[in-house]
Structure 1
């Protein structure tokens, strides 16, 4: 996953001179909150290697669930912190959690290949590619929403408002397509694992 590209998108945000109400927090509390809310007990790399194919599939699904939770924290934190100095730390922490999940999924894929479950491994690889695009697009979308809000506050009649609106709608449509593709791939995986289990 090209997580540096995601961070670069998030760093591109401009500082705002306005006062905004937000939940008070510190750099330490941002990191601690994310660490606590996204913590999960996961099998080690050695444990993954010992798992059967169905267990690896279930481990993959657990990672996908965790990724959904990270996205939820990402969007919530973005709204709360986008005008604050803690935003940089928040972005780094979120990126770290995405990287951890992605690395674990890559290990699961590798274990499936070692067990000659290449069809499942190939589906995971396709999902990983889509998830990379989704993360980059989500970052860009949140940034565009922030720019739109800032522009509306400065001058609701600004011509840029319409441009941002159009851009956001296009990104949302692309995001929806990516989510549909991921869901289709997950469904393919479900059928594949059902056939293996029979």
Structure 2
């Protein structure tokens, strides 16, 4: 009984952190009791936990929406670093924080649900692991590209074109892409 209570307290304290980061691609739902996956939350994108509901957590995420593709929430304005994507038929309602001007995207806040697993309080170890995996795996065939050599919009297709020739596990694909995109714009130190 004591072990069960201790385990509950540990899970609760982890989930009550103000900002948590997914370690892998996570399913996203529009309601706490839904079994219908509406989208995907990509690794390294910070979410604010609002509350627990059964086996899921309710969270909010701030990002940017290109008005031409309202089902994707981006990490930064004008760069295609995906934070959260929804099926075109499952686009959630989101709050516009600031309307984009002169070609800029709208800053938004979205509320959704995801599972409680694979969330970390500290982003740095995750980014360090992505960096190490990239450095160890992506210099087998050629000289290692510097993260800043390509811009955030170029990294996904470049990385995916070489992925099959590396020992990188498929589950780490988006973790490394997110690392490369964010490092290329100087957001990873």
Higher CA-based Rg: 1
| Higher share of residues assigned helix | 1
Q: Same fold (TM over 0.5)?
A: no
> Could you say which TM-score interval applies, normalised by the shorter chain?
under 0.3
Instruction: Give the structure-2-normalised TM-score.
Output: 0.23
| Higher share of residues assigned strand | 2
